[in-house]
Structure 1
Amino acid sequence: MQYRFGPFHFDPTDRRLTRDGVPVDLSSRYLDALALMIAVPGTLITKQRFMDEVWKGVPVTDEALTQAIRALRKALDDDAANPRWIETVPKHGYRFVGELEGGSSRPMAGIWSTGVAGAAGGAVAGVLGGFAYALAGWGNAFLVLVVLTGLLGAIGGAGIGLGIGVARSIASASMVSTVAGGAAGGLIVGALARLIGIDAFTLFFGKAPMAMTGALEGLILGAAVGLVVARAPQRRRSLFLLTALAGGVAGLTIAALGGRLMAGSLSLLFATFPETGIDFAMPFTFPGGLWVTVGVTTIEAIAFVALASLALSSVEKGARQP
């Protein structure tokens, strides 16, 4: 990705800023700060995000950031009072407001990379779920479970990843576009997968489990993944808390709305087709088992959101670094 704005040309991979072909001397930190802002034009970059992604958690004062922006403005011949390139949002942070001639849109390769990353994270979550389900009582279908859950997890993750990639190619990489893209991708893939699954079962067996996971669950999980990707902090503890919160809320919301994730869908599937010989059902019907169902759904949501968002965040970080 290379960017042109006014007389400037910025290549974050080569770590060069030039003006009319003449190199502009900037320190590594200041180049990182420019790369962070220019990658998401029009988006507010908070002071904390600068600290996390430019100084990478190294304790510094706000003056260090102020000095970095001052140096960038001097290099870009910009005016804080009448900004052409970098705008100050008092008490919050800064944003790049210049018009880019190139690089402002995510190329198709970037969109596909988010799709692949989402598929990888979803697949890992699905495979781990398959192992857990086998240990929980479906051991006589171990290989089938692992392959099935891994495949479905990959499809769901790919849809969410592609949704985020497309949304960020159309709009800036803001929290709103990222959450909306993830939700839209999850909804579309969830709806299509459910329709295809129902049609396939009906075609081959004359019946199908009608309450399988689908659009609702995909939308909620996609929004949760998008939220984590958009707000992902650098500190592991903060990232863990955000992931647990987003995934937990998503799982509880799905359970409250009567939705099902993988365990519930598989339980319904095996109940619909007893000829499989797999006798294990999620306790959806009796009062005491309701809490088990809610707990399992929440754990599934946290695992999926954590692994899918981790994979997608890694792609985003890699795209920003030289």
Structure 2
Amino acid sequence: MSSAPSPPSVHSFDHFVLDAGQRSLCRGGEPVALNARYFDALALLVREHGRLVGKQRFFDEVWAGSVVTDAALTQCIKEIRRALGDDASAPRFVRTVPGHGYIFIAEMQTAKAAEAASVTEAAGVPAPLLPDTHAAAGGSVFAAELVSAVLGGAVSGLLGGLLYGSALAFSPQALGVGSVSVLGVLLALCIFVGVAGAFGVGLGLAAARRWTRGPGWQLAGGALGGFVVGGLTKLLGSDTFTLLVGHAPAGTTGGLEGAVIGFAVVAGWLLGGAGEAANIRRPVLCAAFTTGLAGALLPLAGGSMMARSLDRMAASFDSSRLDLGPLARLFGEAQLGPISQSALGMMEGALFGACFAGVIWAGRRRMARPAPQTGAQVAM
């Protein structure tokens, strides 16, 4: 009866090679400093790749015989992430399972690739000369997150269009053919604005996460993306109106509003734990709160959310069937004023933030699921 094969001592992932036998961690042929305890914790995580390693197991195997607190394990994981260049809010290597433990999620190379990496490093050949599997994976993650953001924007635009379209039910032309046409145009316009805004914010956020570290850059990326797309959308809309009817409505939403909303939704996403949150509720509620607050304050500060933009468009055309007066009267105003603009802006922002954060969270969780191990991987 043959004994079970011993686990491999050399593991390769991204540009790193971890040699448990030699107790070394190298990146691109250069050693990475990590103290003995932290190395043992990393080796345990890598050895259990794709499986949850509970807190008690760390205490039993890494700190055997010693009495330590959760804070020591938290600091250990923090140092491991620092050594790997990982980001807790958008992990590529170590994912936290709140209240339970940690999972090593990086794609592992095959035993053959790991052996080749070890040989090339010993010979002084930089590891980047080996096939860069992470670069391809990073590109697919970048694209997947951008698609998630756009989908979230489309959902928020659809809901926002239905919100403002509800005013048509109280208009004198209710249920008429013209009102149905207006509703269709309104839905298309709101979905376009939602998709464009989410694309800009999502692009800025994904770019900041991929090429930089830290929440400050992610906030800046979201704000910059919102500013650029908001400004371009306003410019395109103004040019289109001028070309078709000879003039464009003033005071519509633009770059400044896009920057504020972009900053707010990313702030809420990060406060809610981003991809590290155990369930969807926290990031959705936090993003809805911060973006809803921004949407409520912008009209009071002289900015324009979608409600004011639509009202300005309707006022520019005498024959327009769009009238937001019924929604304004719900807040005690005969026509759209500061109170109704602020209330509707809060609803717009909350919808956008909740949909944006919810769809991205779901997309990240889907990508973070470890792939099923093949027979070759199990045999490693």
TM-score by length of 1: 0.69
Name the structure 1 match of 2:47: 25
* Residue pair 2:144, 2:363 contacting (<8 A) in 1 also: yes
Instruction: Describe the shift of the 1:175–1:299 C-alpha distance in structure 2 as closer, same or farther (beyond 3 A).
Output: same
The residue aligned with 1:263 is: 307
User: Structure 1 segments of 4 or more deviating over 6 A?
Assistant: 31-34, 284-288
* Residue among 295, 302, 321 paired with 2:343: 295
Q: Does 1:251 align with 2:299?
A: no
Q: Does 1:5 align with 2:19?
A: no
RMSD: 3.9
Matched, 1:112 2:143: yes
Q: What's 1:55 paired with?
A: 97
Measure the CA separation in 2 of the matches of 1:134 and 1:24: 53
Partners of 2:83 and 2:144 lie apart in 1 by 17
Please report how far the alpha carbon of residue 154 of structure 1 lies from its aligned counterpart in structure 2 after TM superposition. 0.9
Q: Deviations over 1:232-277 (max 9, x none)?
A: 3324553344123212321133123211222221111111122233
Counting only pairs closer than 5 Å after superposition, residues 65-214 of structure 1 correspond to structure 2 as 103=134, 107-137=138-168, 140=179, 141-172=182-213, 174-214=214-254
2:296–2:346 contact (8 Å) kept in structure 1: yes
Post-superposition Cα deviations, 1:36-90, rounded to whole Å, max 9, x if no partner, equal x7699545649xx9xxx643555xxxxx67xx99xxxxxxxxxxxxxxxxxxxxx
Cα drift, residue 105 of structure 1: 9.3
Gaps of 5+ in 1: 10-22, 59-63, 70-98
The answer as to whether partners of 1:156 and 1:218 remain within 8 angstroms in 2 is yes
Report the Cα distance in structure 2 between the residues aligned to 1:302 and 1:160, rounded to whole angstroms: 15
| Paired position in structure 2 for 1:94 | none
How many Å separate the matches in 2 of 1:315 and 1:39?
25
Query: Does the aligned pair in 1 maintain the 2:291–2:346 contact within 8 Å?
Result: yes
In 1, the alpha carbon distance for the partners of 2:269 and 2:83 equals 14
Q: Which consecutive residues of structure 2, in runs of 5 or more, have no partner in the other structure?
A: 1-12, 20-24, 26-44, 56-73, 105-125, 371-380
Identity of aligned residues (%): 28
Aligned with 2:322 (options 268, 278, 284): 278
After alignment, is 124-133 or 134-143 more displaced?
134-143
State whether residues 39 and 320 of structure 1, in contact with CA within 8 Å, keep that contact through their aligned partners in structure 2.
Answer: no
**Which residue of 1 is the match for residue 115 of structure 2?**
none
Whichever residue aligns with residue 339 of structure 2, its letter is W
Distance 2:165 2:350 in 1: 19
TM-score for both structures, normalised by structure 2 = 0.60
SS of the residue 2:324 aligns to = coil
Whether contact under 8 Å (1:183, 1:220) holds in the other structure is yes
Check whether the contact 1:186–1:218 (CA below 8 A) recurs between aligned residues: yes
